[in-house]
Amino acid sequence: MRKNKEILIATSNEGKVKEFNKIFRNHKLYSLKDLNIEDAVESGTSFLENALIKAKHGAKKSGKYTIADDSGLVVPDLNFEPGIYSARYAGNEASDKDNRDKIIKKLDELGLESLNAFYVCILVGIKSYNDPMPLIAQGKIHGKVSKNSSGDGGFGYDKIFYPSNYNCSMASIASDVKNKISHRAIASTNFLKTYNNH
């Protein structure tokens, strides 16, 4: 295990912080809110670019080893929307429900109950702002987005995302199971393999 016991998770999203706390159990994690750091401006055109922007911003402001993720829902038949705009799909101040409702409306307009979709997560870890060799890992989980909203757990699109091989929404899956099968869990597992041997 490497020496970076203190890690900044470059997000102010409490749902993400909770998930990362379970995954990085042996580390002291900080969020942007904990250190009074404002969110980075996500000006990239891909998940990787945005994750790197967030990691560099966090590392520069905190001086700590920083991990950032950019993740989202991709529906290929909706022109790969919402993609990198997943968090603000229905507008900059949109709630999770607003974003889900926009997808449900698009399904209604197409006269469809569901469409194939996947969640993707790109994780980037850097030692400092100028780290020339960021650690990069990714995770993906396939399933469908549905007009049927269900479940009380999770966040984001979990209530309308039904993972392949499960007959319930991501929001209905127990958190300990979700923390093994989610796109963020897969990316984190891949990340930790490299991180621990780096």
pLDDT value at residue 21: 86
Task: Indicate the domain borders of the chain.
Answer: 6-197
30: part of which helix (H) or strand (E)?
A: strand 28-31
Q: At 9, give phi and psi (nearest 5°).
A: -95, 110
Kindly give the pairing relationship between strand 161-163 and strand 65-75: unpaired
Contact 61, 35 (CB under 8 A): yes
Residue 104's identity, in one-letter code, is I
Contact 68, 134 (CB under 8 A): no
Name the residues annotated as catalytic: 70
Average pLDDT of the chain is 93
Say what percent of the chain tops pLDDT 70: 97
pLDDT tens profile 96-141: 999 999 999 999 999 999 999 999 999 999 999 999 999 999 999 9
Token readout for 107 is 């399904």
Residue 198's pLDDT band (cuts 50, 70, 90):
low
Residue 187's pLDDT band (cuts 50, 70, 90):
very high
Give the separation between CA 133 and CA 116, rounded to whole angstroms: 35
Return the bridge partners of 75, or none. Answer: 81
The per-residue DSSP string of 113-161 comes to: SEEEEEEEEEEEEESSTT-SS-EEEEEEEEEEEES----SSS-TTGGGE
Say what percent of the chain tops pLDDT 90: 78
CATH fold group of domain 6-197: Maf protein (3.90.950)
Residue 64's pLDDT band (cuts 50, 70, 90):
very high
